[in-house]
Chains A and B, each alone.
Chain A
């Protein structure tokens, strides 16, 4: 597609349930990033993929959070046993990552509300 897409756009879940968030990066982009944005806040880095591997997972807040990427394309962020503090917008971005500094292009985000 023309840009980064994410699904679902909105997700309401009950505390304790698992959720899966999907990201489709720009075709050909090797790097993929997940961020979390709480209401009125900045972007919190979660994880970085280069191809299918994740050399930087330093931003994942707990072991309830995991992510994978398959075929060097689609990525899924999974949150197990969701808590109310997980409520936020989850943003995905992708880039060419060919050298020193490449623009990251963002998707529209998934708005997660944990009741």
Chain B
């Protein structure tokens, strides 16, 4: 079946450093990708998305990079802060006959050390 996976289950970074979270996807037909942040006890929160006609998209302190050749997605967080500590999920959109379906990766835990 289709799957989205993450390379690193846990990432520890020093406050102020940049973080990079990676994700591999398997469906070459996927054309929409989302990164979510989930803090403890809360639902996933949208961070940033990217469509397949783009290689890079920037938000506030976050950048998503898409490499369609190797089917790889990454989330870069600049100047990581303690409030960035959370689980990060990538999601790949599959366009089904009936509508859209997101397939989520397993998640990466980001721990920010002060």
Contacts and interface: CB of A to CB of B under 8 A. Distances in A.
Interface of A: 4, 31, 33, 41-43, 45, 48, 50, 55-56, 91, 93, 95, 97, 100-109
Given A42-B105, A100-B32, A101-B51, A31 B43 contact: no
Contacts of B106: 41-42
A24 B101 CA distance: 19
B95 A100 contact: yes
Tell which of B95, B97, B100, B105 has the most Cβ of chain A within 10 Å. Answer: B100
Interface size class of B (residues with CB under 8 A): 20 to 34
Contacts, number: 64
A43 B104 contact: yes
Interface of B: 31-32, 34, 36, 42-46, 49, 51, 89, 93, 95-107
A100 B100 contact: yes
B100 A102 contact: yes
Contacts of A106: 36, 43-45
Contact of B95 (A48, A91, A101, A108): A101
A34 B20 CA distance: 29
